[in-house]
Structure 1
Amino acid sequence: MKTRAVRLYGVDDIRLDEFELPEIKDDEILVKVVSDSICMSTWKTVKQGEKHKRVPNDVKDHPIIIGHEFAGDIIKVGKKWQDQFKVGQKFAQQPAIPGQMESPGYSYDYCGGDTEYCIFQNDIIEAGCLWTFDGDAYFASSVAEPVSCCIGGYHTNYHTVPGEYTHIMGTKKDGDLIILGGCGPMGLGAISYGLTYENKPKRIVVTEISEDRINRAREVISEAEAAEHGVELIYVNTSKMEDQVEELRAITDGKGYDDVFVYIPNQAVCEIGNKIMAYDGCMNLFAGPTDPKFSSMINLYDCHYSRSKIIGSTGGTIDDMKEAIDKNNAGLINSAVMITHVGGLDSVVETTKNLPDVPGGKKLVYTHINMPMTAIEDFAKLGKEDPFFLELDAVCKKNKGLWSAEAEKMLLAHFNQN
């Protein structure tokens, strides 16, 4: 069958192509991709091309399909997998395959998210990185991958027991947690997860330097909503602080933070994070630097005497992804807080190439439609010319201005009729 897909050929060279998919082998599965969300990691891949560790050296002659945050429907199952997978089931997938560098969206000719149809090869399925789900929204499984990264951060942090050689995994229960630079899409995902995490903190402080971003964050996850879950949520604009270290510590009555998440790869922010840790505190460098020599000053005195710990986390496990999907379906987290834009497959090339300059959060792609990448907040303006967008705007506005399963169904039904 033919498919349209956005493929990588080299540095800054991605193209929307139409080509023929081969017949699947007995150990492969053919799927219809419905949604994919565009990740900053894909932008970094496009900037690096074949220099990227996951991209084949011969990508110029054998281009790969980009996009790794995708979900859809199973439409054909090879003999090997027919006892486990059925035609018509919805699928989710984990692109980070244990034990290998090859990954959907980075490495495969026929497997990636920015396409209408793709083929899951045997190595992906054997690793348990393809599974089915029963949720009512595809987008929630697309953004389950970035949500799983947030979940992975919470699970990666650890604390110790004085007098014992014991590591207690996870953020500290009833502790003070801070997310530095946390009003972007990943930060919002982390806030949403933290409100119902089994080790949930008593307080979550979120810093930002943009009042507009703070206001948007407050609209989708309010202090009142957090209080309903027994968590004190505080948004702080650090650009208005004279002494960030002292003023951030003062929120905890001088104790400091048990868990510090650094959500922007900035040297000064890392050093602030290091200075505001409590005794037995754990700082997680969550944001991935692009400079392999990225470093900052840390207090080794506190490391020795105050048991402070500095770690990093990247990505999430298969279990983290499944947790993200299950908790979203159960209403325990809201993955939609990450999404600010929606578009079609024809918008992927331009959006991906310019991703750092496109404001807002996650950009969600529906791969079987053509539609410019559009901010949800612009639906009302578009509704002046097209009544469909006026209806879509009304659906989003009754949901705090967020995307939803109802909005997704409306969009897919509308474009399938045109």
Structure 2
Amino acid sequence: MRVKMASLYGKKDIRIRETELPDLRDDEILIKVMSNGICFSTYKAAMKGEEHLRVPENVHETPVVTGHEMAGIIEKVGEKWKGQYKEGTSCCLQAGIRYKGSEDAPGYSFEFFGGNATYTIIPGGYIESGCLLTYEDDYFAFASMGEPVSCIISAFHTCIHDYMEDMFVYDNIHGTKEGGNLLLMASCGPMGIGAIDYAVHGPARPKKLVVTEINEERLKRAAQLISPKEASDYGVELIYVNPEDLDNEEQELRQLSGGKGYDDIMVFAASERLVELGSSLLAVNGCLNFFAGPTDEQFKARVNFYDIHYRRTHYVGNSGGNLDDIREMFDLSREGLITPEYMITHVTGLSEVPEIILNLPDIPGGKKLVYPHVDLPLMALADFEKQADEDPVYKKIAGILKANHGVWCKEAEQVLFAEKWIGD
């Protein structure tokens, strides 16, 4: 079978590759990839090439397919899995699963296991680990967002706090503090939007949620998607802040917390200044989660060790989810509580992927969602209306998006499949 994919050949070298897939082994499953989100982690891997932790040293000789936020349809099932998986079933991937402790991961380490491809082969070991999840729907965009949303959910679950009643109880309390103060810093990018959504609509809501962002366009979009009024309906006081409007950022953010600081802080940008500011704003027994993974292996920031000792502050750093996290995403999405599609601002076909990944920091907006079987340039969702006169399909999608408050949805996806499908 011929496959088309966006593969990494080395540092800053991504190309569209067409080749033959190897024969499917008895312990493997073949997936027809229907959608894949482009993660900033893929950009980091592209910048570092073989120097990246998960990219093989021989990537120049054997390129690896990019992308790990995939959803698709089970095309063929190896003999070992025929009693467990059924061809024609919709599926998605929890890419954060590590097989036997290996750092190898889809989208970083394998020639044929990744999401920016028309078809992908899932190795037997990863199927054994439970990374392949099935679901009953013919909608794929929200499932592609399952992996990044699971990372967000994990970040909320992995914040830690001490039992304040007895300092010699050594079991920590896991999770952000329900009814507490939560600060999300640099949090109106795609992952930040997802974090706001989960904080407001998830199971452990803060009493006060402060969101900072210096990009005014992102800030306005976040406030439109999840407004302070909507948050108040869920018992959350939501405050959006552009730090550039503040005379004294630390002092004024502390005032917004009621003077006590924040029980939980998440930092969504790899910024020394933000980490240090967050450290200064932690409440007693507060926790700072450094969500943004830096590319600089020497990234450092000063934190307050006096507070660690006497005020029992905590620091964690993670941005990867597990199977429970992605299942929670599906449950909350089915219940209509969270909207993973809020993260999506662009859609595109496979041919555009190399340029998108290599220039990702310079492309505004949130998640770029790839449809490997669709002929489409990179389109901001707002551009469908702007270019409606150029293509009747764009006009149809623009109408759907307008009725859905500018948010990508199943109906828009189905029009894209019906009108722009280019086959295998």
- In structure 1, distance between residues paired with 2:374 and 2:43: 22
Given the alignment of the two structures, is residue 348 of structure 1 paired with residue 353 of structure 2, yes or no? yes
Distance in 2 (CA, whole Å) between partners of 1:271 and 1:378 is: 39
Return the alpha-carbon distance in structure 2 between the equivalents of residues 313 and 63 of structure 1. 28
Q: CA deviation at 1:75?
A: 1.0
CA distance in 2, matches of 1:154, 1:176: 13
**Maintained 8 Å contact 1:219/1:400:** no
Contact 2:97 2:322 in 1 (8 A): no
Query: How far is the alpha carbon of 1:417 from its aligned partner?
Result: 8.1
Map 1:1-40; keep pairs closer than 5 Å: 1-40=1-40
2:263 is equivalent to residue 275 of structure 1: no
Structure 1: 5+ residue stretches without partners: none
Partner of 2:78: 78
The runs of 4+ residues in structure 1 deviating greater than 3 Å are: none
- Look up the match of 2:322: 317
Residue type at the aligned position of 1:36: N
Q: Distance in 1 between matches of 2:50 and 2:270?
A: 24
Q: Which moved more, 1:201-210 or 1:171-180?
A: 201-210
Q: 1:417 to 1:6 in 2, by over 3 A?
A: closer
Partner of 2:136: 134
Check conservation: 1:260, 1:284, Cα contact below 8 A: yes
Distance (Å, rounded) in 1 between the aligned partners of 2:55 and 2:270: 24
Alignment of 1:9-408 (within 5 A): 9-98=9-98, 99-162=101-164, 163=166, 164-408=169-413
CA distance in 2, matches of 1:249, 1:135: 45
Secondary structure at the counterpart of residue 35 of structure 2: strand
Q: Deviations over 1:68-89 (max 9, x none)?
A: 1101000110110001000010
SS in 1 for 2:266: strand
Counterpart code for 2:144:
S
Q: How far does residue 196 in structure 1 lie from its aligned partner after superposition?
A: 2.5
Distance (Å, rounded) in 1 between the aligned partners of 2:385 and 2:34: 25
Q: Is the 8 A contact 1:347 1:370 kept in 2?
A: no
The Cα of 1:92 is off from its aligned counterpart by 1.0
Quote the Cα distance in structure 1 between the aligned partners of 2:422 and 2:91.
24
Identical columns (%)? 46
Tell me which amino acid in the other structure corresponds to 1:391. Answer: K
Matched residue count: 418
Does the 8 Å CA contact 2:50/2:57 hold for their aligned counterparts?
yes
TM-score, reference length from structure 1: 0.97
1:202-232 deviations in Å (ceiling 9; x for gaps): 1111001122221111111111111121111
3-state SS, counterpart of residue 123 of structure 1: helix
- State the TM-score, normalizing by the size of structure 2: 0.96
CA shift at 1:295, angstroms? Answer: 1.4
Q: Letter of the aligned partner of 1:104 in structure 2?
A: P
Deviation string for 1:299-339 (max 9, x for gaps)?
Answer: 12211221111111121112112221232222111101111
Question: Following TM superposition, by how much is the alpha carbon of 1:183 offset from its aligned partner in structure 2, in angstroms?
Answer: 0.8
